[in-house]
Structure 1
């Protein structure tokens, strides 16, 4: 409702008679102020409804984050508003678990569509000769393959001696995968095809 709606509602609520005349400037001013205030409260209530949804929260965003333990050690240093909202939604909708499909979903939510997983099986005599050799120690290891190398940087002539020849990866993805993977397992992340 807007100011005119509240003005009409207030006039309709007043009892009839000469004591409540619409020509009275004091009463008219009071109704106008009350109608503006009610319209402002109406707008504030509409905004409050939007704050109840993490997809649209703005004023309540710090409260949402505090209640869900965000930002955490895996958060980016200066996240955008969209990244903060996405982190809230991810925290609220993540059911947890140790299924490999869950880790593909996490990678997809972090901007890596097309991610896949690979398990490492111990070598046995039933495998083909071309099968890689993995010991029993590899049974708790698995790989998350993401299709694109992110933040890939090659060394240049201006690079220091201590700088790597090539560097890539996403520290947020690595942190979240390390935090979320089952305790006895090890996740390896490979970037690119």
Structure 2
């Protein structure tokens, strides 16, 4: 499975989960301790827009806006998520050289690394959203493999900036999904 297909699947899960949200669900606590569902989903959409902007040259959030959790969902979160995902999918579909450098909000990097980061972000935050609304999800083998590979590179430096919590200990019987989210500082159990 290629990187674009993994991103498309992660985006589809995010849309499906957003589609089941009721009005009160946006106020629920999320596994990201400082954020409720609304701020978590706002951050997720801002991340998608930030990486799309690196490719399409359109507007995107600053690093400060990206990590603020400020509400960008308005009264129709599903429409906002769908618009953001559609923009992202259009932008990523234009990539023909996965080694081309792109200027992301996190710095210059090859397109292949950038799509891995946004896929990781969407996977982990979809898990957060699913847990918050009582609809837990499991990553398949390809998703877990990508998330483990990207997470080991991305999370440690961001943990120093307090953007990820301390890794949660899991037992030997932990599923791949549990290992991924535990490394990202979430309690998977």
Question: Scaled by the length of structure 2, what TM-score is found?
Answer: 0.23
Between Structure 1 and Structure 2, the one with more strand by share is 1
| Rg (Cα) greater in structure | 1
Could you say which structure has the greater relative contact order, defined with CA pairs below 8 angstroms and 6 or more residues apart? 2
Question: Scaled by the length of structure 1, what TM-score is found?
Answer: 0.23
